[in-house]
Amino acid sequence: MDGARVLALFGDLATELLIRIDGDEGLFRAYESVEFLAPVFAGDFLELRAELVNVGATSRQMRFEARKVISSARYGRDPESQAAGRLSPSAADLLPVPIVVARAVGTCVVPRDLQRRPRELYLPGLPPGPVPVSGAIVTPSGSESPLILTAAIVGAELTRGHTPYVPFTAKEVAEEAARCREAGAAIVHLHVRTDEGRNTQSTERFLEIIEAVRAKCDCIIQTSTGGEVGMSLDERSGPLGCRPEMATLNCGSINFGDQVFVNSRPDIRELARRIRAAGAIAELECYEVGHVEEALALLAEGLVPAPLHLQFVLGVKGAIGARDEVLLFMRQLVPAGATWGVAAIGRAEQPMTELAMRLGGHARVGLEDNIYLTRGVLAEGSAPLVARAAAYARSLGRDPVDPVTARRLLGIA
Ligand code: KMH
Ligand code: ZN
């Protein structure tokens, strides 16, 4: 099918968005960019999305994406039946992973006198003047909108029963870190295990593994102070003895599957002091909306210096869900100057980190959060997940940065 067919569908979406926000069909003024990324055949089914990214007095800029979700079997995945001529023209297959077939950015216009809705209705609380609806808008140039990818390569809860690809030994962890760095990660979020696979927060084991990682790659090492559910504060503080560049600070308690991950307010504050005393910068893990409030309180109390680095961890069983509207809301709480990113659990990892990247945030992927590359297919380590996220970032014009740039963006001396 010709590409103009997809553009016609984008035009329909633009019209719908304009009707929703202005009560008018408006006019499509221009496409700033159009990319055709994969062929579309008669009989394919597409799913389309439009997202408002900028609002001026009369202009409304939108980003569009078309994904193929079903392919006509005649052109699709069953070449044997095709060759044997056994396929009916109406045979079709659901794709295991949707294929992005086209992306575009375009600007529409609704003249002032045709705008039938006050902007307060769709942009409540925002001052007059042009508004970037998606916060730090994705810019076309990778250098203007750099992206920090974090690889969570070990995890505390994962076992070899879940996946044989989780690294345990210093050599395995270092090699995996190097593969992730190669694939585009700037930060390695680190838990460690004994050689037998038992999770530990021991300073000595962290030292040994950090040394091995350092010998292989220059990633920023972000040690966990979350450890494993049930660990004492002192135990959780073990890695800070290594004076890491960065450490996590969990901003509240949650049900964590069938367990309870306890982070009392006094304990959060004590860990914040210890992280600071160790010379590390904190990444604030927020599993719930209220945890963002806590992060803001830590900033106000001077326990965590500006700028904040927020990580929205979405989809933990018992905490907030990994859904678009959740992220769209949480992102609004990010204070100016702060950085933010998304880690999402299980099959939500890819769609939620991709949404974060489109919205100007950073992303964390890796076996700690998700062990599958696609449904039923284990990722052979965290590096393939990093590579996929890096490719997506590049397709948006957001180049994943190296650790040197990431240190600068995060304010690591
Ligand atoms: N293992 C979880 C209970 C962190 O690294 O700071 C906590 C966790 C978060 O993984
Ligand atoms: Zn962790």
The closest ligand to the CA of 311 turns out to be 1
Mutate-to-test residue for ligand 1 from 150, 189, 225, 250, highest number of ligand atoms within 8 A of CB: 250
Sequence-ordered strand ranges (E) for 210-280: 220-223, 246-250, 254-256, 259-261
The residue-averaged pLDDT of 194-218 equals 98
Kindly give the number of the ligand 1 atom that is closest to the alpha carbon of 261: 3
Gap from CA of 299 to ligand 2 centroid (Å) = 22
Task: Report the mean per-residue pLDDT for the chain.
Answer: 90
**Ligand 1 cavity residues, CB under 6 Å:** 156-157, 224-226, 228-229, 248, 250, 256, 261, 285
The closest ligand to the CA of 261 turns out to be 1
Q: Does pLDDT of 139 surpass 50?
A: no
Domain covering 3-122: architecture:
Roll (3.10)
Kindly give the number of the ligand 1 atom that is closest to the alpha carbon of 368: 10
User: pLDDT tens digits for 43-101?
Assistant: 899 999 998 888 888 999 999 999 999 988 876 656 666 676 777 888 888 887 788 99
The closest ligand to the CA of 224 turns out to be 1
Mutate-to-test residue for ligand 1 from 248, 258, 268, highest number of ligand atoms within 8 A of CB: 248
Mutate-to-test residue for ligand 1 from 255, 261, 309, 310, highest number of ligand atoms within 8 A of CB: 261
DSSP state, residue 262: -
Q: Give the span between the Cα atoms of 365 and 391, in whole angstroms.
A: 13
Place of tokens 């996590």: 248
Structure tokens at 411: 């304010």
What is the residue with the minimal CA distance to atom 8 of ligand 1?
Answer: 226
User: pLDDT tens digits for 324-365?
Assistant: 889 999 998 999 889 999 999 999 999 999 999 988 899 999
Q: Does pLDDT of 183 surpass 90?
A: yes
Q: Does pLDDT of 130 surpass 60?
A: no
Tell me the whole-structure pTM to 2 decimals: 0.71
- Find the range with the poorest average confidence among 76-85, 209-218, 277-286, 363-372: 76-85
* Domain map (residue ranges) of the chain: 3-122, 149-410
β-pairing verdict for 281-286 and 246-250: parallel
Gap from CA of 335 to ligand 2 centroid (Å) = 24
Secondary structure class of 117 (helix, strand, coil): coil
- CATH superfamily, region 149-410: Aldolase class I (3.20.20.70)
